[in-house]
Amino acid sequence: MNSIDHSFDYNSQEFKTPFFHNNLLEQNTFFNNEKPTSYTEGVIPKEDDGKKVKKKPGRKRKRENDKKSEHNKFSDDNLRRKVKSLTLKYTFYFINKKIKDVYNGNIGEGISKKELKTINQKQVSNATIDFNKKFLGKTIKEIFSVEITKKFTIFNKDYNKSLIENLMNEEDENKRIYFTKLFNLTFLDCLKQFRGEKNYEELEGFALFDNTKEIKCEYLEEYKEDGEEYIKELRNYINNYENIINKKNGQKKMKT
């Protein structure tokens, strides 16, 4: 295989093209005029006969600045979604850059272009525990072989699946071996590379989340307005994602 340039220009316009639309928080945020979800009950003496009657349920007061009492970007499900979104975003960028490198820029044009297209959002938006436990071991091939977004009207919905299969069955042995190894890596492998824990040969040049590492992740620069506290909490979720997922209980099956 020809020598491949592993360097990335993470400040390029191509790299900053949106991959996942981060509207999950807005979709899941509770509004101020929501219906009350919890109540307090008490008893008061009735003056005419001395009997006690139940007090009508009243809305439980929210503590100010109590992050646990509201659904926001610090909420567990939104942090878990963000970890998935960022990891898949940089995996997507990495794969397309690597394809371009391996083929020395000769990746074709139009519907024949060797380039992954943006996939639908179902895998990212799914925050159920059972799904995400299985997702840890899902391969890159499986993840990106799902249907592409409907905005690509001239492309077949299985475009990514066909491209990945073609890359893994390349006539050139070196290309075939590399892409087979790459697409058989799992989501957890990519996450470990993203947080700097592992260094897989097939993922050499992959972005790292922590800006103290050799390669700076674009996210930290783009989302400084999220605040240091949020970045710290997100880093915690990235570094402990599989432990957080595996400690949670999945949906209980109903007894028949």
Q: Please check whether residue 192 is in contact with residue 206, taking contact to mean a CB–CB distance below 8 angstroms.
A: no
pLDDT at 191: 97
Label residue 205 left, alpha or beta by phi (over 0 means left) and psi (-120 to 50 means alpha).
left
Please name the residue ranges forming H helices in 5-106: 24-28, 76-102
Give 220-228 contacts, CB < 8 A, sequence gap 24+: 222/16, 226/73
pLDDT at 66: 53
Q: From residue 49, how far is each of 46, 53, 56, 148 by CA, in Å?
A: 6, 11, 19, 70
Q: Which two tokens stand for residue 194?
A: 């993203």
Residue 235 confidence (pLDDT) above 70: yes
Residue 250 confidence (pLDDT) above 70: no
- Residue 25 neighbours by CB under 8 Å, 6+ apart: 72, 73, 78
Q: Which two tokens stand for residue 200?
A: 């897989």
Segment 59-107, tens digit of pLDDT: 544 444 555 558 888 999 999 999 999 999 999 999 999 999 999 999 9
- Alpha carbons within 13 angstroms on the beta-carbon side of residue 166 total 13
The percentage of residues in the chain with a pLDDT greater than 70, rounded to a whole number, is: 65
Q: For the whole model, what pTM was predicted?
A: 0.71
Q: Which two tokens stand for residue 30?
A: 């509770």
Q: Which two tokens stand for residue 253?
A: 């099956």
Closest residue by Cα to residue 234 from 214, 217, 251, 215: 217
DSSP 186: B
Report CA torsion sign: 115, 9, 78, 141: positive
DSSP 16: T
Residue 219 confidence (pLDDT) above 70: no
Q: Please check whether residue 99 is in contact with residue 107, taking contact to mean a CB–CB distance below 8 angstroms.
A: yes
Q: From residue 201, how far is each of 15, 92, 94, 185, 215 by CA, in Å?
A: 22, 17, 13, 11, 16
Q: What residue ranges do the domains of the chain occupy?
A: 73-247
1-5, 140-144, 158-162, 194-198, range with the lowest pLDDT: 1-5
| Distance from C-alpha of 21 to C-alpha of 89, rounded to nearest angstrom | 10
